[in-house]
Amino acid sequence: MNEIDIEMAGGLTKPGMLRALPGSALWTALRLRSAMSAAKVPVLTASPPTITVPGATNPYGGSETFFHAPDVRDRCFTFLRGSWAEFNVGGTRYMGPGAVVTYSPSLTTGGSAPLWSFMCDAPDLAITFRSPSSGVRILIDGEFAHEGGLAIGEGSGAPWHIRIEHGSRKPRLYEIYANGNFYVRGIRCASALDRVWPAPQTYDDLRGVIIGDSFTEGGANGLPEDLWGYGFGASLPYHLGTRDLRASGSGATGYLADALGTRYNAFQRLGDLTSANPHFALLPLGTNDNEAVMSAEQQVSDYLDLAQAALPNCLFFVFSKFANSFPSSYDTSSQYRDGQRAACAGRKRVWYTDTVGYTQAGPNYQQTAWVTGGGTVYAPNGVGNADLAVGRPAPYTPDSTHPNEWGHQQVYAPRMAAAVRDGLDQMIAQDLLV
């Protein structure tokens, strides 16, 4: 697509403008809005295939057809969410996430929930990979093929296999999710008649980045216990209708300015944003900040100055803290959010959403808080959704801060997507795109 016909995308309030140039802010807004209109969030399949848990043994004994990822690459496979490169591990060649993003001083693995996809018509196939300590989720034709994650504990570093048996031949779409240390060796098929070819890239021309924290990737759930396990950052692409959404930040990295000086803050991770050259960025800034940190307005303003100078056509969606617990005082939290809001007000290509109180429209425009109630003790009949979103007994969540699967899937991902959609509409209506 070289141009977008604005009238087909829903019209425009500004007369005389008929086309949006590819890559422009208006193009991104219309394209993302169209993608969201076609979005579909996966569910657990009603007819799961037979899946053999990950193991080191080749299920076919060497007599199979092997599609080796480093050799066939784009001819057979589709790689999203970051750049992928060839790796040689112990003499074995793999494809893996090549872009390194900064999580914390002690963890700098690449990528976030890598997405590897392909089409295959085999009734019997095996995914071959390496992942030192992780887990895998498999979607087939847009539905989860299994409940929970497939935990991996390979230890030895040898290639591992997950066998999938359908019993019938037909073209199927496979999407593989895993942690940043997941490396693809390829696909083994039982028959020489089996074919593997690249998956379609739905809205592949849209690329987004989240500069987040432990809410974005990680959170309360471990990988095997729920369908997603990575936080709302893994499921949000399906709400937005575009797969290429990359995340930087995991585990107490939600600082604009780290008062302790022991974590990479948002400024230090600015390169994770600019190097991806995204069309849009989601900025839940300052989750881990506290009242000892300097002016939120100045921090957010300085950050946006740098980000917008580097990415002049990017759309920025800034979000407040997700709860009043950071900072610990409500008054301080309110002042912090007021500062964030003031830094965003009037900026082109920027929209601010207050997930706790009101939005950029002002204090007279009340928005229901995303998380309500205490949530510290599991209480199905409690006063707010926090009683379900956090604070439930293990394995749902071991703490009283991070969302569990229900919180990520029913609160954070859909509400963040709704805020993006509202921001798109408001930026168009208020002439904030040009």
Of 405, 402, 414, 408, the residue nearest 288 (C-alpha): 402
Q: Which helix (H) or strand (E) holds 417?
A: helix 413-429
Task: Check if the beta carbon of residue 216 is closer than 8 Å to that of residue 249.
Answer: yes
Q: Are both 312 and 395 inside the same structural domain?
A: yes
Q: Are both 219 and 177 inside the same structural domain?
A: no
- Whole-angstrom Cα distance, residue 112 to residue 125? 26
In a domain, 21, yes or no: no
Tell me which of 178 and 319 has the higher pLDDT. 319
Q: What is the mean pLDDT of residues 404-428?
A: 85
The last residue of a domain, from among 197, 232, 265: 197
In a domain, 42, yes or no: no
pLDDT at 432 over 60: yes
CB atoms closer than 10 angstroms to residue 170: 10
In a domain, 55, yes or no: yes
In a domain, 11, yes or no: no
Q: What is the pTM of this model?
A: 0.83
In a domain, 12, yes or no: no
How confident is residue 16, by pLDDT bands cut at 50, 70 and 90? very low
Instruction: Give the count of domains, the chain.
Output: 2
Q: Are both 75 and 188 inside the same structural domain?
A: yes
Task: For residue 369, report the phi and psi dihedrals to the nearest 5 degrees.
Answer: -60, 145
Which CATH number is 304's domain given?
3.40.50.1110
- Whole-angstrom Cα distance, residue 276 to residue 66? 32
Q: Are both 290 and 330 inside the same structural domain?
A: yes
Q: Are both 170 and 312 inside the same structural domain?
A: no
pLDDT at 180 over 70: no
Angle between helices 25-37 and 232-240 (to 10 degrees): 90
How confident is residue 420, by pLDDT bands cut at 50, 70 and 90? very high
Range of the domain at 353: 208-429
- Percent residues over pLDDT 70 in the chain: 67
Q: Are both 351 and 291 inside the same structural domain?
A: yes
Q: Which two tokens stand for residue 303?
A: 């950050």
Q: Are both 234 and 257 inside the same structural domain?
A: yes
Of 11, 26, 12, 13, the residue nearest 3 (C-alpha): 26
Please report, as a single letter, which amino acid is at residue 69: A
In a domain, 33, yes or no: no
The last residue of a domain, from among 197, 231, 262: 197
pLDDT at 366 over 60: no
Q: What is the mean pLDDT of residues 132-149?
A: 82
The pLDDT, as a whole number, for residue 379 is: 52
How confident is residue 434, by pLDDT bands cut at 50, 70 and 90? confident
Q: Are both 161 and 244 inside the same structural domain?
A: no
Is the dihedral angle over the CA atoms 111, 412, 208, 320 positive or is it negative? negative
pLDDT at 14 over 50: no
Q: Are both 184 and 322 inside the same structural domain?
A: no
- Percent residues over pLDDT 90 in the chain: 34
Q: Are both 219 and 189 inside the same structural domain?
A: no
Tell me which of 106 and 94 has the higher pLDDT. 94
The last residue of a domain, from among 145, 172, 197: 197
Which CATH number is 172's domain given?
2.60.120.260
The pLDDT, as a whole number, for residue 157 is: 61
The mean-pLDDT minimum among 79-88, 272-281, 416-425 falls in 79-88
In a domain, 149, yes or no: yes
Tell me which of 394 and 195 has the higher pLDDT. 195
- Whole-angstrom Cα distance, residue 311 to residue 207? 13
In a domain, 3, yes or no: no
